[in-house]
């Protein structure tokens, strides 16, 4: 379903519930989350505003309100206010987790630690999650992916590789080929950032195979672009040109358009310089 259809469906379901009931609030939480995910920013704020610092909001939903408000503030470059709201959300989720351990709550806590760049706390928290030995491979894939993201933000290459490899380890235990391809891609990026180009290429190619099997055209073309970039870093213009020609721009995510244009310009400039030097 399209975003508008999803939101309309939730709204119709919510209207069948008594306002303020537990079922109504569960649907409200879904609606707010989808508004954020679908980047409906104006609608998200309009829906959030009545619930900010409102004591009528059930305790278990207050952290979600704070988190989504903090993320909305961050999207609008109100960074100090965002940090305050996200910290409030983290404290709330940690209080809920102390009362009842939940994998979903654990992931929200970890996500907020990433947002707030609290690496040491996140590592300690994950150590506790590992000791619990949940029988959930997808959960641990996501846990280590979050740690990998923190390491990436902090430019800690050794930890970045370590956590991306651990996330890949867990991804390969799941039946989800799309997530396997994502994990291979992230591991390859970590290797590339550390100058381990041969291993990075092998990981990208493994991810490309899995993404192709999954029919994930967006991931396929994203990895092709990464392979072209890697070849250019290694001064292999022929191979870079080979992979760039394979990229189907219509299947790239919008966030990769700038990357594609930059690579195209760099390759053109390198080819011109090479011809001039002959």
| Distance in angstroms (rounded) separating the CA atoms of residues 268 and 278 | 16
pLDDT confidence band for 216 (50 / 70 / 90):
very high
Give the residue carrying structure tokens 């979903």. 104
Range 248-275 average pLDDT = 88
Task: Give Cβ neighbours of residue 266 (< 8 Å, ≥ 6 apart).
Answer: 232
Rounded to two decimals, what is the model's pTM?
0.76
Beta strands in 183-257 (DSSP E): none
The span from the first CA to the last CA of the chain, in angstroms, equals 56
**Better-predicted residue by pLDDT, 123 or 78:** 78
Range 203-224 average pLDDT = 96
Whether 276 has a pLDDT exceeding 80, the answer reads no
Whether 209 has a pLDDT exceeding 90, the answer reads yes
Number of Cβ within 10 Å of residue 118's Cβ equals 17
Range 139-146 average pLDDT = 90
Q: What digits encode the pLDDT tens for the residues 5-26? A: 888 888 899 899 998 899 999 9
- CA neighbours closer than 13 Å in the CB half-sphere of residue 151: 24
Task: Give Cβ neighbours of residue 82 (< 8 Å, ≥ 6 apart).
Answer: 70, 71, 73, 74
Provide the token pair at 278: 């002959």
Average confidence score pLDDT of the chain: 92
| Distance in angstroms (rounded) separating the CA atoms of residues 239 and 243 | 6
Q: What digits encode the pLDDT tens for the residues 148-195? A: 988 898 889 999 999 999 999 999 999 999 999 999 999 999 999 999
Q: What digits encode the pLDDT tens for the residues 99-136? A: 998 898 999 999 899 889 888 888 888 888 888 888 88
Whether 1 has a pLDDT exceeding 70, the answer reads no
| Distance in angstroms (rounded) separating the CA atoms of residues 165 and 159 | 10
- The burial class, CB within 10 Å (0-12 / 13-18 / 19+), for 273 is exposed
pLDDT of 126 reads: 86
Q: What digits encode the pLDDT tens for the residues 47-74? A: 999 999 899 999 999 999 999 999 999 9
């Amino acid at each position: 379903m399209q975003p508008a259809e999803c939101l309309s469906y939730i709204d119709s379901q919510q209207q069948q519930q008594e306002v303020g009931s537990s079922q109504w609030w569960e649907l409200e939480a879904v609606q707010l989350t989808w508004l954020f995910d679908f980047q409906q920013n104006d609608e998200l704020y309009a829906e959030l505003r009545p619930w900010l610092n409102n004591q009528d909001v059930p305790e278990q939903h207050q952290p979600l309100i704070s988190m989504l408000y903090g993320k909305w503030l961050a999207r609008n470059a109100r960074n100090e206010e965002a940090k305050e709201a996200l910290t409030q959300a983290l404290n709330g989720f940690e209080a809920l987790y102390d009362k009842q351990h939940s994998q979903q709550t654990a992931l929200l806590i970890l996500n907020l630690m990433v947002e707030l760049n609290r690496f040491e706390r996140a590592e300690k928290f994950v150590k506790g999650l590992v000791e619990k030995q949940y029988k959930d491979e997808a959960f641990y894939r996501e846990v280590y992916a979050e740690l990998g993201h923190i390491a990436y933000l902090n430019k800690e290459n050794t930890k970045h590789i370590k956590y991306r490899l651990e996330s890949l380890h867990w991804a390969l235990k799941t039946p989800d080929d799309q997530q396997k391809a994502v994990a291979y891609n992230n591991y390859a990026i970590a290797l590339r950032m550390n100058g381990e180009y041969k291993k990075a290429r092998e990981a990208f190619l493994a991810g490309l195979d899995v993404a192709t099997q999954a029919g994930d055209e967006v991931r396929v073309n994203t990895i092709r672009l990464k392979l072209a970039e890697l070849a250019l870093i290694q001064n292999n213009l022929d191979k870079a040109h080979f992979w760039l020609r394979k990229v189907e721009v219509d299947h790239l995510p919008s966030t990769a358009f700038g990357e594609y244009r930059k690579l195209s310009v760099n390759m053109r400039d390198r080819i011109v310089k090479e011809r001039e030097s002959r």
